Amino acid sequence: MKRIVLFVCVVVSLIAAACGGRGNVEKDDGKTKVVTTIFPPYDFVREIAGDQVNLTMLLPPGAESHSFEPTPQDIIRVQNCDVFIYVGGESDAWVDQILESMDTSRMEIITLMDCVEVVEELVVEGMQEEEEEETEGPEYDEHVWTSPKNAQRIVKKIAGVLAQRDGPNAAEYEKNAAAYVEKLSELDASFRSVVNGAKRKTIVFGDRFPFRYFADAYGLSYFAAFPGCSTETECSAATIAFLVNKVRAEKIPVIFHIELSNEKIADTICEETGAQKMLFHAVHNISKRDFERGANYYGLMSQNLQNLETALY
């Protein structure tokens, strides 16, 4: 209901902006205009197209994606883009409402969840569930990019759309995409090698767990405080006790947290068990500092590879 009310307010603001002229709309530089909602597809487009496109990410660096609320200017950017890329899950309900209000006949739309085989959100033993609103049908896990294999599929899809949309630069897009897919394939092989040679196959997160696709890809079992799309930041004593006991019983050396987390739960588990706290980046979003430094999906996942090796060996 909150997002529906927000949507109505945004549309009213958008109409007002349109009636006032086009002063707030970016100038047309002749390049293909690409808008993404979050960081992973934004970074994939950078790898494929470089500066051949006019690229915008709606989610500000450092912001929480699950609570993102678009501004009227964001709606204008979407309305005027040539290619729009979003995740397509339940947290993107605002996107569907906005697109329904627009003429999208001239726009190419890519939904990340349509690029791969999706799986349902899973609540494992010990994980604290949220009180969910009633929904029709299963709830699918949205974090499809966390598997490098899925990332390859997404990159190929984006490259194909860009090549079709921008014929003069098609060969460059295809060449860049092929080179990047090869890097992602090598990254996938490295993760597989680390897991295959490890003495344990279990990871523990004192945080949300947006890595179902990753864990499934490499045959990892996991325990965590919350599911991937949870908005909770505080968990029950029972959840913490379960994770502490699991770490002690299986002698787990590393407790992971995700990016932009307050890390409190991971800190508590580490204090109780003597385990080491480490970051495992979901690449949902990055901090403003990392964004300005040019952090990218491949680099962050390569750091995950090193940290995973520490956790499993």
| 64-68, 179-183, 255-259, 299-303: the lowest-pLDDT one | 64-68
Query: Residue 32 has which token pair?
Result: 């293909």
**What's the 3-state SS for 140-201?**
ECCCHHHCHHHHHHHHHHHHHHHHHHCHHHHHHHHHHHHHHHHHHHHHHHHHHHHHHCCCCC
Termini Cα distance of the chain: 47
Specify the pLDDT at position 133.
Answer: 55
Specify the pLDDT at position 21.
Answer: 39
The per-residue pLDDT for range 28-87, each reduced to its tens digit, is 789 999 999 999 999 999 999 999 999 999 999 999 887 788 999 999 999 999 999 999
Q: What is the bridge-based pairing of β-strands 276-279 and 221-227?
A: unpaired
Q: What is the DSSP letter of 132?
A: P
Separation of alpha carbons 56 and 295, rounded Å: 16
Architecture per CATH, 199-312: 3-Layer(aba) Sandwich (3.40)
The per-residue pLDDT for range 205-256, each reduced to its tens digit, is 999 999 999 999 999 999 999 998 887 778 899 999 999 999 999 999 999 9
Specify the pLDDT at position 228.
Answer: 87
Above 80 in pLDDT, residue 296?
yes
> Residue ranges per domain, the chain?
2-124+142-187, 199-312
Query: Residue 23 has which token pair?
Result: 């002063």
H/E stretch holding 222 reads strand 221-227
Q: Which fold has domain 2-124+142-187?
A: Rossmann fold (3.40.50)
**One fold for 2-124+142-187 and 199-312:** yes
Alpha helices in the chain (DSSP H): 2-19, 39-49, 72-79, 93-100, 148-165, 170-196, 212-218, 237-250, 264-273, 288-292, 297-312
Specify the pLDDT at position 138.
Answer: 84
Please give the backbone phi and psi of residue 189, each rounded to the nearest 5 degrees, phi first: -65, -35
Specify the pLDDT at position 66.
Answer: 77
Above 80 in pLDDT, residue 19?
no
Query: Residue 295 has which token pair?
Result: 């952090």
Question: Most confidently modeled of 1-15, 46-60, 61-75, 130-144?
Answer: 46-60
Dihedral angle sign, alpha carbons of residues 154, 156, 159, 161: negative
